[in-house]
Amino acid sequence: MEPRRTPFDLPIDALPAPEGEAYRRAQLTEWLYVHGARDFEAMTTLPKGWRAALAAEQSVSPFDDVRRFPSWDGSVRYLFTLADGQRTEAVYMPYAGRKTVCVSSMVGCPAGCAFCATGALGFGRNLTRGEIVAQLLAVAWFEGFAPRELRNVVLMGMGEALLNYDAAIGAIRTWIDPRGLAMSPRRITLSTVGLPARIRRLAGEGLPLVLAVSLHAPDEATRRRIIPTAHAHALDDIVASLHDWQAAGGRRVTVEYTMLDGVNDAPAQAGALATLLAGLVVHVNLIPFNPWPGSGFEATPRERVRALQDVLVRAGVSTSVRFSRGRDTGGACGQLALREGATAA
Ligand code: SF4
């Protein structure tokens, strides 16, 4: 079975309009992205016959089923069932004054990072452009607000976005289109495990996104132990591609560093990380490991997290510690595993 066709698969300029009535495209666009209409029938300014014709060929939502798992901390994990029965997830995180969604680019993930529950699932398939775009719309539908109230997106859910390049970049272009969700690209974070050729290609897109790179270790041996793709992409080349990204006008890079007890959390490793990143405009996010059943890893104790942060800060590296939201619902960083239940374990 194929993924379902939706208007979100297409760039706004390519949306359909009845012969000789191009202005209807603008009306359709407004129903989708401003009003957040969930079906064609609700688009009452469009001619009835055209609504029926659209509905005969496609749906507004690419999802067969949407389940919400709210956390005590205010975040909500979303489990989406796609038209072909595959599933993927997103996490809604309301903060005071801003609404953020962590979005997936794939079903599962081929990268197989050892500390990540999504990696343990393996790769299902790439999401379509429409399935990526619509995760934001679905959160707005189900949380009950207008789609444009969403101001921040992180492409950090399931999948390696740069391996689903065209769909992920297409989705971003819809989100930032003034006729679409009119988001600022500066509020969109794209996360990658570190694929130098794709980072260089992204640098040529002219999109001032925030690039987040999952380094998780400052040396090849440790990195290869926890990230299988590290065998194919040398750390030096990844760091060189980050220099290229910034030279091409790319903005500050965020370095993601999941702290695993006894694996990558020695003070000397923090020192090596500072050396590796010298000359880059970076911010390091230290992420205490979020446990999941069968991972085989433990989280670094809090005192040691602080000690590592001190090493980095003394070396002049901007650093913060990210305690993830949604740990109780399996919605925290590295925990997404298509669980049916409302709790992580
Ligand atoms: Fe994939 Fe990211 Fe998990 Fe690695 S950490 S397996 S890239 S989802």
Q: How far apart are CA 338 and CA 81, in angstroms?
A: 10
User: Mind listing the domains of the chain with CATH numbers?
Assistant: 1-60 (1.10.150), 61-329 (3.20.20.70)
Task: Quote the pTM value.
Answer: 0.95
- Kindly name the residue from 89, 131, 160, 256 that is annotated as catalytic: 89
Over range 186-195, report the average pLDDT: 96
How far apart CA 40 and CA 116 sit, in angstroms, is 39
| Ligand 1 proximity of 156 Cβ (cutoff 6 Å) | no
**pLDDT tens track for 258-313:** 999 999 999 999 999 999 999 999 999 999 898 888 888 999 999 999 999 999 99
Q: Is the CB of 256 under 6 A from ligand 1?
A: no
The pLDDT, as a whole number, for residue 339 is 80
Mean pLDDT of 319-338: 82
What number does the ligand 1 atom closest to the CA of 118 have?
A: 3
Residue 210 CA to ligand 1 centre (angstroms): 18
What's residue 171's pLDDT?
A: 98
- Residue 337's pLDDT is 81
Does any ligand 1 atom lie closer than 6 A to the CB of residue 147? no
Reported as a pLDDT band with limits 50, 70 and 90, residue 345 is very low
Tokens standing for residue 290: 């979020």
pLDDT of residue 223: 96
**Interval between CA 139 and ligand 1 midpoint (Å):** 22
The Cα–Cα gap between 337 and 325 comes to 15
Residue with the smallest CA separation from ligand 1 atom 6 is 119
Average pLDDT rounded to a whole number, residues 90-102: 92
Q: How far is the CA of 76 from the centre of ligand 1 (A)?
A: 20
Q: Exposure string (b/e) for 246-264, b if CB count within 10 Å is 16 or more?
A: beeebeebbbbbbbbeebb
Higher pLDDT, 339 or 196: 196
Share of the chain above pLDDT 90, in %: 83
What are the DSSP E strand ranges found in 146-294?
A: 152-155, 188-192, 210-214, 253-259, 282-288
Report pLDDT digits (tens) over 7-30.
Answer: 999 999 999 999 999 999 999 999
- Quick: pLDDT tens for 114-156: 988 888 899 999 999 999 999 999 999 999 999 999 999 999 9
Q: Are 265 and 271 in contact (CB under 8 A)?
A: no
Residue 333: active-site member: yes
Say whether 90 sits in a helix, a strand or coil. Answer: strand
The whole-number pLDDT of residue 28 equals 98
Which residues are 65's β-sheet partners? 81
CA of 223 to the centre of ligand 1 (A): 13
284 lines ligand 1 (CB under 6 A): no
Point out the catalytic residue in the list 109, 113, 116, 333: 333
Ligand 1 atom nearest residue 116's Cα: 3
| Cα of 290 from ligand 1 centre, angstroms | 13
Q: 289: which 2 tokens?
A: 């490991």
CB of 185 within 8 A of CB of 209? yes
Q: What's the N-to-C CA distance of the chain in angstroms?
A: 32
Which of 14-28, 76-90, 138-152, 326-340 comes out lowest in average pLDDT?
326-340
**Beta carbon of 112 within 6 Å of any ligand 1 atom:** yes
CA nearest to 287, candidates 200, 191, 197: 191
Mean pLDDT of the chain, nearest integer? 94
